[in-house]
Structure 1
Amino acid sequence: MSAPRPPTQARRRAVYRRRRIVVAVLALALLVGLFLGGRAIVLALSGGGESAAAQPLSAADQAVRMELPTSDAAVALRPAGVNESNRIDPEPGEAVWYTGHDRVRPGELGTAVVVGHAEQDGEPDAFADLATITEGERVTITFADGVTLQLDVSDVQVLAEDELQDSDLVWGPQQQTHRTVLVTSDQVEVDGREGHVVVVAELG
């Protein structure tokens, strides 16, 4: 699958700005505490803790494996960009979550893209049965700390190369839901149509 252009520095700048805002808020809480007493600081920090806990993932969390409804064996996950040929090319038996094009990590708010081969060297691979997944089934993602996340399949498509590259469902900048899109790196034939199998799973 041809990868999109590399991500810009915009997201890193946004994260840096958010960190500066957090520091400013904590400094303000400290000043308030000097006037109102220690209790004000405790309340401010407690509120911040609750806000942070509401986030689906901390910065240190990474998805390490995925369970599909079509297989009893879990698929190993790791982060990856594109190779020298500008393609996302997972190793046999694994899938990768794409780190470019401003895609988020699986489980975060936004759209994560996970890519695996349907076959390698003529043998079935990690995403061999992706086309048999149906709407309403569940995909389970496990993170390094043991936390699991279940996503409901909302759409299954077969897209030609150009359709995949232009798909807003895969590459759009949505921030309304926690979405993970599974894509076969190679094109396969499904019901007479050849293309990449695309499975969309979202947090219900």
Structure 2
Amino acid sequence: MTLSVTLGVLGGILSACSGSSDEPGAATAAVRADDGAGGGTPPAPTHQTAPAPPLVRSPPTTVAVPVIFIEAPVRPLGLDSQGRLGAPPLSKPMTVGWHRRGPAPGEVGTAVLVGHRDTLTGPAIFLNLKALRRGDAVEVTRADRQVAVFSVDEVKTYTKEAFPSNEVYGPRGRAELRLITCGGRFDKKSGYSANVVVFAHLTASRTRSA
């Protein structure tokens, strides 16, 4: 079963949730890199990092979110016959999917990366997305060896009935990124009740060394 939200300007339906029979419990609570040393949680930045110039189009190959220990391969995803963009196969829970017909990460527009929160066998790659805070970094390595560095602006949870497609996917005059997974309550018949959406914008780029 999947949780679907209208993909709005991208022209389809996004199914970013797994068919897990159980919602993760306390044992899989989010842990951040800056929480591990017992020094408390630093305050979120009060200003927004200035946007960087956009990059030319190039497909993503990996995504990393250091503060929640994510590093994962990215695979392109297309729309099915019903106009839906699915998540990566449940057999690959630590893989992230990219909407290949939308902007590439770093390109002008809103790039979309999706991943499972959990599966029948345990936690998946985007389990801890909700733990991200403003100013956290998301790094996307691309086929052209450019690393697009994004800064998180905010993290929101939307019910599937009130998903704001224009706000999430609407056109932007700069390079932006969305990370999307399941959220809310889990029901065995209907799946998760919501989506967690991370909003971020491009703040830097660098060339990856060989």
8 Å CA contact retained: 1:158, 1:194 = no
Residues 1:4 and 2:7 aligned together: yes
Deviation at residue 7 of structure 1 after TM alignment = 5.8
Superposition pairs for residues 45-64 of structure 1, below 5 Å?
56-57=55-56, 59=57, 61-64=58-61
- 1:66 aligned residue (48, 63, 66): 63
SS at match of 1:142: strand
Measured in 1, the distance between the counterparts of 2:103 and 2:177 equals 9
**Consecutive unaligned residues in structure 2, runs of 5 or more:** 12-52, 186-191, 204-210
Measured in 1, the distance between the counterparts of 2:195 and 2:166 equals 15
Give the corresponding residue for 2:177: 180
Partner letter of residue 183 of structure 1?
I
State the structure with more CA Rg. 1
**CA distances 1:112-134 after superposition (whole Å, capped 9, x unpaired):** 11111111115110101101011
Rate the CA distance shift 1:170–1:69 in 2: closer, same or farther, 3 A. Answer: same
8 Å CA contact retained: 2:70, 2:125 = no
Give the corresponding residue for 1:128: 127
8 Å CA contact retained: 1:70, 1:129 = no
**CA distances 1:135-182 after superposition (whole Å, capped 9, x unpaired):** 111101111232211110001101111333x3322221222x110010
8 Å CA contact retained: 1:94, 1:126 = yes
Q: Which TM-score applies when normalising by structure 2?
A: 0.62
SS at match of 2:167: helix
Over aligned residues, Cα RMSD in angstroms? 2.7
Deviation at residue 76 of structure 1 after TM alignment = 1.1
SS at match of 2:110: strand
Report how many aligned residue pairs link the two structures.
Answer: 150
8 Å CA contact retained: 1:97, 1:106 = no
SS at match of 1:203: strand
- 1:171 aligned residue (161, 169, 172): 169
**Consecutive unaligned residues in structure 1, runs of 5 or more:** 9-53
Q: Which structure shows the bigger proportion of residues in helix conformation?
A: 1
Q: Which TM-score applies when normalising by structure 1?
A: 0.64
User: Identical aligned pairs, as a percentage?
Assistant: 26
